[in-house]
Amino acid sequence: MEKFISKVNRIEGELRVPSDKSISHRSIILTSLADGKSEVRHFLKAGDTLTTLNCYRKLGIRIEESNQVISVYGKGLKGLKEPEDIIDMGNSGTTTRLTMGVLSGQSFFTVMTGDDSLKRRPMGRVAKPLIKMGAKIDGRNNCNNLPLSVRGGNLTGIEFFNEKSSAQVKSALLLAGLYADGKTTVIEPIISRDHTEKMLISMGANITTEIYDTEYRVSIKSVDRLEPIKVDVPADPSSAAFFVAAAVLVKNSHIKLKDVLVNPTRDGFFRKLKEMGADIEYINHRTEGGEMVADIIVKHSHLKGVKVVKEEVPSMVDEIPLLAIVATQAEGETVITGAQELRVKESDRIKAVVNNLRNLGVEVEELEDGMIIKGPQKIKGGTVDSYKDHRIAMGFAILGLIAEDGIKIKDADCVFISYPEFFKHLEYVSK
């Protein structure tokens, strides 16, 4: 599907964007391991999260929906069953990597595959430490690519340095640690998103966290059971980011985004925009289910260029392509470094952003681990390629709002992966 986005006069209104993708995934995966019925409200129904639902149903978990509440009938830590067929993980790296950790503690055999994009994404970063714990994992390219097979076994806890501060790697090892003899410890140079730790603590897991100046440590030991819980999933900051960016870029704009997750491991994009001069305010700040939530008020702003360094990347890794797009309208130079992780997402997001900006006539320099953008630059318009990556498609849709001749986006239907109603919501707030 091609989608044309034309220039608008302003962005205005009030919106609750879809619920957080990361927490939605974990609300199904972790509660499937609980003893008894858990309830999930405001679950995100999008391509990746529906993949998680389907996966755990195939692993024997009863999952029902009534009155917009998802009920997960957990069967305990050892209650999953061997699937009758290969499990298709679609495009979801989160489902795949976290489930590898779960399956490493089971006593049966499972094979996972995915779409063409997921088959290219690196799985060795999870497989290798799980193999050290005692899991039997095999797959393409020395366990680095799907399809992969997992046969769980008797696991032993390890200490692992999570060099890239990947939340998916950390979560997979913590889930495997639920089944391991001894203690499993993950050390990070920069704390990655910590939803798994928070949810496991609420379920009664034997987990401890320590934050030092130079590292973050989280340790887990096995338990006999996890308690069922009730989860109310807040709005996704990564989805909210597109409308924050739209209001900042389009003149005379003013928008309110409700119930947004503002966990400090996730709101780096908003903090960086404030540093650029954006008029962004958190109101009605509260804690819900152990997570920090707020409503966000955003107005059109004049921006200046900034630097993004490696230590800032984990808290805004999904929003960096959008930040680069916003930076085209900032006064001066924006330099993004330390973001090589973007090369192994649904697309090579560094190359995707650079190629598309150049196709639109924007001056940008590609770095191995980021890019340099000079601004402000006039956006005339043209055609961009989404590379079938939802965040690339949505990011350039936002740029289309200020492009003189609009922007046409190829394969725009990929937004279903995380935000099925994106274009409908964009039209709703565009005036």
Task: Write a three-state SS string for the chain.
Answer: CCEEECCCCCEEEEECCCECHHHHHHHHHCHHHCEEEEEEECCCCCHHHHHHHHHHHHCCCEEEEECCEEEEEEECCCCCCCCCCCEECCCCHHHHHHHHHHHCCCCCEEEEECCHHHHHCCCHHHHHHHHHHCCEEEEHHHHCEEEEEEECCCCECCEEECCCCCHHHHHHHHHHHCCCECEEEEEECCCCCCHHHHHHHHCCCEEEEEECCCCEEEEEECCCCCCCCEEECCECHHHHHHHHHHHHHCCCCEEEEEEEECCCCCCHHHHHHHHHCCEEEEEEEEEECCEEEEEEEEECCCCECCEECHHHHHHHHHHHHHHHHHHCCCEEEEEECCCHHHHHCCCCHHHHHHHHHHHCCCCEEEECCEEEEEECCCCCCEEEECCCCHHHHHHHHHHHCCCCCCEEEECHHHHHHCCCCHHHHHHHHEC
CB 185 within 8 A of CB 219: yes
| Whole-angstrom distance, CA of residue 356 vs CA of residue 340 | 18
CA 330 to chain centre: 26
Catalytic residue among 232, 236, 318, 389: 318
Is 181 considered catalytic here? no
33: which residues sit within 8 A by CB, 6+ positions away? Answer: 74, 75, 76, 77, 79, 80, 102, 175, 178, 226
Query: Which positions are catalytic?
Result: 318
